[in-house]
Amino acid sequence: MIADVVVDLQYGDCGKGKIAHALCRERKYTHVIRYNGGCNAGHTIYHNGQKFVTHHIPCGVFFGIKSIIGPGCVVHTDTFLKELEELEAAGIPAKKLVHVANNAHIITDFHRAEDGKDEAIGTTRRGNGPAYRDKYGRKGVRALDDPKLYPYLIDMYRELYENEAYNEIEILFEGAQGFGLDVDWGDYPYVTSSHCTVGSALLNGVPPRAIRDVWGVAKIYETYVGAKDFEGPDEIFETIRERGQEYGATTGRPRQINWLDFDMLKMATRINGCTKVVFNKMDVLEGLDAWCLYDGPNLYQFKKRDDIELWLSGKLELEVDDNIEVMFSGDKEFI
Ligand code: IMO
Ligand code: MG
């Protein structure tokens, strides 16, 4: 069994959907598995020129690959079924490809109503936090208890291990949210309620030795949606928000913007054991001549794109691992 993992190194919305979609085209996966979170996620995917925003459903469906919502996830059944119908209507044969792990947990309408009153954290109000609270409080409802999900249920152990094709299984794990929102490593309490690191993928039932590549996805600037103050004082962030279309894919809220924080990026790269790091949205800063980042408390401004690329690649190779392959969007055909 072989597995690649896509993790977000910042606050979500770094382009996991884009990278997962590109990887499905490049590599021959037998399974794509969403490993954490629920419909709080919003993954923007361009497939054959058409724009899709997925919340629950992994991007394997665009390529005819078996796609599983794993046991680490929480599912709002009606949202899931609606998303399935929308994909089908757009010509993506999702129904025959999508499965829900029978031990995934359900986001009930009560969870949603409770989360709908949140002001303190600035959640997506999709019921994510209350669903995980009830899961860990051992009061949750699992997918196998929801008749509407019966046609889609899958037993992860049987699927992955009691399978004659065990040696041919090649999984892409598609993460949701990001390191800065991780319940343990993020800026608690301004976090989501699940784990957003590579460890979270393993919790879905694969052994650590199965992991081949960990794709860390970042943006060349940072964005965050939620209740804490995040945006820097620079006026240019307004322009970046417009150019980068930095509005929540799930809630439409404007994302707060700041420069990349190298210390956090380094921490996320180390903890996730990334073998690849991709910086997205390079095109947004192109033309603005604003190649800036924070290294500790110091704000650096670089003269041109090449300079920030060299600095980032060099620092990650020197301070984390000299085998990391660092990529910038636009560099390679597939990113
Ligand atoms: P993707 O997968 C960005 C944020 C919310 C809030 C905090 C807690 O598209 O990267 P929650 O609803 O999870 O209880 O909210 O986490 N958040 C996200 N921010 N991208 C996401 O998903 C997010 N999912 C949750 O805005 O600050
Ligand atoms: Mg998103």
Q: What is the model's pLDDT at position 141?
A: 98
Query: Which residue's CA is minimally distant from atom 11 of ligand 1?
Result: 123
Catalytic (active site) residue 261: no
pTM: 0.97
Residue with tokens 């949603």: 112
List pocket residues of ligand 1, CB cut-off 6 Å.
8, 11-13, 40-43, 121-124, 126, 128-129, 176-178, 181, 192-193, 225-226, 249
Q: May I ask the CATH architecture of the domain 2-328? A: 3-Layer(aba) Sandwich (3.40)
- pLDDT per residue of the chain (335 residues) written in tens, 0 to 9: 999 999 999 999 999 999 999 999 999 999 999 999 999 999 999 999 999 999 999 999 999 999 999 999 999 999 999 999 999 999 999 999 999 999 999 999 999 999 999 999 999 999 999 999 999 999 999 999 999 999 999 999 999 999 888 889 999 999 999 999 999 999 999 999 999 999 999 999 999 999 999 999 999 999 999 999 999 999 999 999 999 999 999 999 999 999 999 999 999 999 999 999 999 999 999 989 899 999 999 999 999 999 999 999 999 999 999 999 999 998 876 67
CA of 164 to the centre of ligand 1 (A): 38
Q: What is the model's pLDDT at position 287?
A: 82
Question: Of residues 13, 134, 146, 182, which has the active-site annotation?
Answer: 13
The rounded Cα 334 to chain-centroid distance in angstroms is: 18
CA of 244 to the centre of ligand 2 (A): 13
Q: What is the model's pLDDT at position 164?
A: 84
Question: Would you tell me the crossing angle of helices 305-319 and 262-272 to the nearest 10 degrees?
Answer: 50
Mutate to test the pocket of ligand 1, among 45, 181, 280 (most ligand atoms within 8 A of CB): 181
Q: What is the model's pLDDT at position 334?
A: 67
CA of 177 to the centre of ligand 1 (A): 6
Catalytic (active site) residue 13: yes
C-beta neighbour count of 27 within 10 angstroms: 13
Rounded CA-CA distance 141/74 in Å is 10
CA of 167 to the centre of ligand 2 (A): 33
Give the SS3 label for residue 174. Answer: strand
Q: What is the model's pLDDT at position 289?
A: 85
Residue with tokens 């999508």: 98
Question: Of residues 21, 43, 99, 105, which has the active-site annotation?
Answer: 43
Domain boundaries, the chain: 2-328
Provide DSSP, 18-39: HHHHHHHHHS--SEEEE-SB-T
